[in-house]
Chains A and B, each alone.
Chain A
Amino acid sequence: MLKHSFIDTLATSLRIEVISATLRERVRATPFSVFRAVFGLLMAFGAVRFMWLGWIEDHYLAPQFHFNYWGFEWVKPLPAIFMYGVHYLMIASAVGVMVGTKWVYRASAITLFLTFTYTELIDLTYYLNHYYFVSIVCALLCIIPSPPAIWDKQATIPHWVVVIFKLQIAIVYIYAGLAKINYDWLVEALPLKIWLPAHDHLPIIGPLFTWTITPYLFSWFGMLYDCLIVFFLLNTRTRLAAYLTVIIFHSLTGVLFQIGIFPLVMIGCTLIFFDFGRGKPAEPSPLRPLTPKVSLRALVLVAHFAFQLLFPWRFLLYPGNVFWTEQGYRYGWRVMLMEKAGTAIFYVKDSKSGREGVVDNSEFLNPHQEKQMAMQPDMILQFAHFLGNHYAKIGLDNPQVRAEVYVTLNARPSRLLIDPNVNLMKERDTFAPKTWILPN
């Protein structure tokens, strides 16, 4: 009895009924229409740009070895013609997401999600939080009911459709902000102390970057911006000013960092916070009854957001500094947070003859792959296994692979990242802490 009433009270105090009703209320479709139009356009543009820059060759076709995503080792690049096909399909589906309705929209959304996510999963080297964000948005676009035509200004959609995108954006920003609350970022103004002077040649703002105070201001502003911007976007009175801040902030990151079209993506996506219209929608339709399909969808969304909220904290379960070990670093909205680089020298030993050779990484990896690998333990492990298998194939007896990896983090003198005496062929990549990573 007591238990029952407790749950009742909890339900009442959480106002689940009310929340559910509010979420199912129908609202003006324009914010979402603008959102999907801009998102689809940018996705199409992004895919065209990717091909134009010759990155299909550079990223997917030229490398003889690809770093896998954990659990997605089965994702492999396709021959050139199919890789181009995938990109053309991505462009077409992006256009479909932009302007399509009914089955065209649905098919486009699913295709966009699959093609984009496929290309991202080919090589871990190119992982960026932004790509992960785009994949999530694509997935969310698949789950929503088919939207009305984008030019229909009177149309309505369920409130939750808008809410899930706002919530996802909120998580990205707030988690990115929380990640900035650390000693190096706030007290040492690192890595901005490194990055800003490297851009002191920029017109107008460049000279500011040589001032001692500038990295501190940027660090603090960046942290506060990320933590708070969503709240200012939610509030009608501050929305316009907040959006101007969004434009300025992302334009700056676009100038400073080589992150492609992502500043544009964020500037575009945050448009969803605007109403684009006045007053209530023309015909507030009555709430539709809950069907199993709706409930299932709700369940999937709740599970998704629970994952989104919890997964980034997994780093707390690992010993050591997450910036150093990178255990639990990814998928946590840690965006442009540190300056890290390493030199990894691999030694392969023939177990029978005892002869040990030194690998020239550039024989197997492109500069981008080598750079990313040389500071991330799981990638070092993958490459070690590749080397072991490769040399076993060309005749070495049960090759042992060890690596001497020196990493510099935020301008500190470089130190050994992993135990240089461990035979990496004996280690496996799991969620368990990697004992061969040396403390920072």
Chain B
Amino acid sequence: MNRTLILITLLGLGLLTGMVSCNESETPTESGFNRGEMLTNVVQKLIIPAFTDLGTHVAALSQRAEAFTQSPTPTTLSSLQEAWSTAYTSWQFANSFNFGPAGEQGVRRGLNEEIGTFPISIAKVENAVSGTPNFNDFNRDARGFLAVEYLIFGMGKTPTELVDEFSTQKRKDFLLGAISDIDRRVNEVLSAWNGGYSTTFVQNVGTDVGSSTSMLYNEFVKSFEAIKNFKLGLPLGRRPGQTQAEPQLVEAYYSGKSLEMLEANLVAVENIWFGRSREGQDGAGFREYLQSVEGGQALIAATEAQMTAVKSALAAVPKTSTLAEQIQQAPQPADKLHTELQKHTRFYKSDMSSILGISITFSSGDGD
């Protein structure tokens, strides 16, 4: 028998089996998901609003800092502190978008590290204050939001004591310099998104490494993991080798706003999952994407069940004392939250990328 004939026969058989195995053959399925639409929604409803909002609040912070340095009083200090909290809350909604214009570039690290590094080094900050501040060196733990926080909230100081600290011009200059550095970096990112980058981002609809979906996904997971590992795990002393809790490692230690910020960060991550704006307007996000793929419904159900568990664990953390105090005195609720976040990790970290077919590394293994 002619071998070509055998090949054709076998191919035909294969075709036939394929057709038999699926009922709605040849018609395009509902599964065609428009990644471009999801990306557009994320850019328009989440990313650009997040950086716009952040830009506005950093500008306000800058103005209050001007006012404070011109006349340092407990009143101007308090209004400066308030502006810091608002701006830093806005940052929680932008810290997941640490790619593209906010990503690494040469010696410049991602925006997250440049303006959001914690814990800061008091020694380095004080050194920079008394020396010549340089906001472009490797001392990322001596600049950014949390260096500013240390300067204006201090550690166990009364407002008057804090105000007194600002009697030197150098301290004033450093404060203004640190805020203007944040302002410059945020505005760079914002103008890139408002300029051509949005189009570039929305048009890059693939799923390979470097594609918009892959970058968005990666940083989404990183933001989530940072909450678990750095905002909770480390201060709780849950790292191997730690012999006790280290509450001073929490984010926003000096203002005592750790819990508030953590909560905002969790909401921001959840918003990306839903494709939801900060105001609550729902659009296409990872959840919608998952709805279109094999195994997606089961994953959505499992993820959202765990989200509920995370939320109730968060609700059980008392808001009457700071996270640092709780970690020191009664860590159980915070520990429980850490555990629930731990349980949540796999849904975001591996299940999602696996069933969506998003590549997270440059070359694949045989087992992909």
Residues B340-368 near A (CB distance < 8 A): 342, 345-347, 349-351, 353-368
Interface centre among B32, B358, B361 (most CB of A within 10 A): B361
Complex interface: chain A residues within 8 A of B363 (CB) = 126, 128, 258-260, 368
A326 close to chain B: CB less than 8 A:
yes
Q: Write out the residue numbers on chain A whose beta carbons fall within 8 Å of the beta carbon of B350.
A: 341-343, 371, 374, 406-408, 414
Residues of A within 8 A of B29 (CB): 210-212
Shortest distance between the CB of A184 and any CB in chain B (Å): 11
**Min CB gap A307→B, angstroms:** 20
Q: How far is the CB of A371 from chain B (nearest CB, A)?
A: 6
Say whether B243 contacts A198, CB under 8 Å. Answer: no
Cβ of B318 within 8 Å of any chain A Cβ, yes or no, is no
Residue of A whose beta carbon sits closest to that of B229: A360
Beta-carbon contact of A228 and B14 below 8 Å:
no
Does B107 sit within 8 A of A, measured CB to CB? no
| B358 closest partner in A (C-beta) | A198
Shortest Cβ distance from residue A388 to the other chain B in the assembled complex, whole angstroms: 10
Cβ contact within 8 Å between A341 and B354: yes
The one of A260, A343, A376, A399 in contact with B367, judged by C-beta atoms closer than 8 angstroms, is A376
Q: A74-93 CB contact bits vs B (8 Å, 1 = yes)?
A: 00000000000000000000
Chain B binding site: helix, strand, loop or mixed by DSSP?
loop
Task: Report how far A194 CA is from B356 CA in the complex, Å.
Answer: 7
State which size class the interface on B falls in: 35 or more
**Measured between alpha carbons, how far is A276 from B3 in the docked complex, in Å?**
22
Q: How far is the CB of A295 from chain B (nearest CB, A)?
A: 36
* Binary CB contact string for chain B from 179 to 213 against chain A (1 if under 8 A, 0 otherwise): 00000000000000000000000000111110000
C-alpha gap A396/B239 in the complex (Å): 12
State the CA gap A217–B16 with chains docked (Å).
9
User: Which residues on the B side are within 8 Å of A336 (C-beta)?
Assistant: 364, 366, 368
User: Does B342 contact A348, Cβ atoms closer than 8 Å?
Assistant: no
Q: A232-B3, A336-B368 are in contact. Are A396 and B240 (CB under 8 A)?
A: yes
User: Contact: B18 with A216, CB < 8 Å?
Assistant: yes
A203 to B76, CA, bound (A): 59
A125 to chain B: which residues have CB within 8 Å?
365
Verify A414–B351 contact, CB threshold 8 A.
yes
User: Interface readout for B6-35 with A: 1 if CB under 8 Å, 0 if not?
Assistant: 110011001101110110111111011101
Q: Which of A198, A201, A326, A395 has the most CB of B within 10 A?
A: A198
Tell me which residues across on chain B come within 8 A of A187, comparing CB atoms. 21
Pick the most buried of B17, B347, B354: most chain A CB atoms within 10 A of its CB: B354
In whole angstroms, how far apart are the Cα atoms of A391 and B359 in the complex?
A: 32
Nearest-CB residue, chain B, relative to A326 = B367
Q: Which of B15-58 contact A (CB under 8 A)?
A: 15, 17-19, 21-22, 24-29, 31-33, 35
Q: Which chain A positions have C-beta within 8 A of B25? A: 211-213
- Asked whether B242 is an interface residue with its Cβ less than 8 Å from the other chain, the reply is yes
How many Å lie between the Cα of A212 and that of B366 in the bound state?
Answer: 24
Give 8 A-B pairs besides A339-B354, A372-B365, A414-B350 with Cβ atoms closer than 8 angstroms.
A128-B363, A194-B356, A198-B207, A198-B358, A199-B206, A224-B11, A359-B239, A413-B351
Can you show 28 pairs from A to B with CB atoms below 8 A apart? A53-B362, A126-B365, A127-B366, A194-B356, A201-B206, A211-B26, A216-B19, A224-B10, A231-B3, A232-B3, A237-B4, A241-B4, A257-B368, A258-B363, A338-B367, A339-B354, A339-B355, A339-B357, A343-B346, A350-B240, A355-B243, A357-B239, A357-B240, A391-B241, A394-B241, A396-B241, A408-B350, A411-B293
